[in-house]
Amino acid sequence: MAKPVCINDFEELAKKTLQKYAYDFYASGADDELTLKENCQAYKSMPICMAPVGVQAMANTMAERASAQAAQEAETCMVLSCFSSATIEDVAIAAPNVLRWLQMYMFTDPELTKSLIKRAEDNGYKAIVFTADAIIHGRRRRDLKNQSLLVPHLRFGNVVAPKASREDYALYVKSLIEQAINWKSFLWLKSVTKLPVLIKGILTAEDAISAVQHGVDGIIVSNHGGRQLDGVPATLDALPEVVKAVEGKVAVFVDGGIRHGTDVFKALALGARAVFIGRPVLWGLAYQGKQGVSDVLDILKEEFKIAMILAGCGRLSDIRPSLIAKETSYY
């Protein structure tokens, strides 16, 4: 019998070795055992979620299926990119119990947009995340030098693309995304789904207020991990004005640059409901597939827990702005 390494291992072993009545006597709670479950659940609030990141097959052949399984195990939320390597359906099968949201662009073909949303609804995805800051790609010099922009063999799971040369393929992908988006596009998107719709890519109070006025269900303060418009503010700097403008009417999340548990703490202190991580998932995937992503999440969670304890916070709601300070002299 393998040596137990956590409390759940001990419980599993006790369940196997004890008489059933003895195990049940120890393990049971009152009535529907709601309080019993909630006692444990309360410690599991996991404010570190997974941002949508396309074509994960370059990092690991299991791609988004592995990330989703790690998210499921960590009991957190995963946003699947509409340009994922794995399909909407495959991810749902690989991790049936993970909280899944689908990230969408507005496609030039409204039927394609509708069909992806329908597939998400049919496969238990719980929200749509509309990315508003990537109607064209930023000019990424490293990709240009590597000539790796949209490598043709990296097919998308959800969108069937024609076989084409590298240049034609890049043009095809470009032609998929609608560039003339505005608030009408957002209202149309809302009208074709019953799922909540969040907007990702908000950086100003002005846009946050418009988003709330147009019925957004949540805001992700994001600059696409610095991949789009160079020179925009860091998301942590943009977060407070968005939180203030929204006046608690919808949840505000943030992504970009989160690499330590203390980063999570700072974002929550400035009013984010939770954070999303992008590249750290890719690094974990590249290291060891699902296990690597689990390790990344475990480390961030552990570091975050330590930050909470050392800052004297027993609950997420104890994390408040007065607990952080910002050095502004470098401006």
Q: Active-site residues: which are they?
A: 224
Count of residues touching ligand FNR (by CB under 6 A): 20
φ, ψ at 192 (rounded to 5°): -100, 10
**Smallest distance from the beta carbon of 75 to ligand FNR, in angstroms?**
20
Residue with the closest Cβ to ligand FNR? Answer: 278
User: Is 266 a residue that touches ligand FNR (CB under 6 A)?
Assistant: no
CA-to-CA separations, 148 to 140, 142, 144, 326, in angstroms, rounded: 10, 9, 7, 38
Under a CB-based contact definition with an 8 Å cutoff, are residues 265 and 243 in contact? Answer: no
Query: Using CB under 6 A, which of 47, 271, 278, 289 touches ligand FNR?
Result: 278
**Smallest distance from the beta carbon of 42 to ligand FNR, in angstroms?**
27
Task: State which of positions 229-258 bind ligand FNR (CB under 6 A).
Answer: 255-258
Closer Cβ to ligand FNR, 200 or 313, answer by number: 200
Closer Cβ to ligand FNR, 220 or 313, answer by number: 220
CA-to-CA separations, 29 to 10, 24, 43, 56, 289, in angstroms, rounded: 18, 9, 18, 43, 37
Task: State which of positions 50-79 bind ligand FNR (CB under 6 A).
Answer: 51-54
**Smallest distance from the beta carbon of 327 to ligand FNR, in angstroms?**
21
**Smallest distance from the beta carbon of 285 to ligand FNR, in angstroms?**
11
DSSP secondary structure letter of residue 107: B
Task: State which of positions 141-200 bind ligand FNR (CB under 6 A).
Answer: 200
Under a CB-based contact definition with an 8 Å cutoff, are residues 285 and 293 in contact? Answer: yes
Cα distance between residue 149 and residue 169, in whole Å: 10
Residue the block writes with tokens 């009408």: 184
Task: State which of positions 13-52 bind ligand FNR (CB under 6 A).
Answer: 51-52
Tokens of residue 159, six digits: 């969108």
Tokens of residue 100, six digits: 């899944």
Closer Cβ to ligand FNR, 110 or 138, answer by number: 138
Under a CB-based contact definition with an 8 Å cutoff, are residues 82 and 76 in contact? Answer: no
Beta-sheet strands, E only, within the chain: 48-50, 77-80, 99-104, 127-131, 197-202, 218-221, 251-255, 275-277
Classify residue 43 as exposed, middle or buried by CB count within 10 Å of its CB (0-12, 13-18, 19+).
exposed
Cα distance between residue 244 and residue 208, in whole Å: 10
**Smallest distance from the beta carbon of 303 to ligand FNR, in angstroms?**
15
Closer Cβ to ligand FNR, 100 or 224, answer by number: 224
Under a CB-based contact definition with an 8 Å cutoff, are residues 78 and 125 in contact? Answer: no
Here's the x/- map for ligand FNR, 190-229, by CB under 6 A: it reads as ----------x---------------------x-xx-x--
User: Is 131 a residue that touches ligand FNR (CB under 6 A)?
Assistant: yes
Q: What is the maximum alpha-carbon separation in the chain?
A: 69
Here's the x/- map for ligand FNR, 90-109, by CB under 6 A: it reads as -------------x------
**Smallest distance from the beta carbon of 54 to ligand FNR, in angstroms?**
3
φ, ψ at 281 (rounded to 5°): -65, -40
CA-to-CA separations, 130 to 36, 38, 72, 91, 185, in angstroms, rounded: 38, 33, 22, 19, 10
User: Is 123 a residue that touches ligand FNR (CB under 6 A)?
Assistant: no
Closer Cβ to ligand FNR, 255 or 313, answer by number: 255
Query: Using CB under 6 A, which of 119, 166, 279, 305 touches ligand FNR?
Result: 279
User: Is 81 a residue that touches ligand FNR (CB under 6 A)?
Assistant: yes
**Smallest distance from the beta carbon of 223 to ligand FNR, in angstroms?**
7
Please give the residue ranges that form the binding site for ligand FNR (CB under 6 A): 51-54, 81, 83, 103, 131, 200, 222, 224-225, 227, 255-258, 277-279
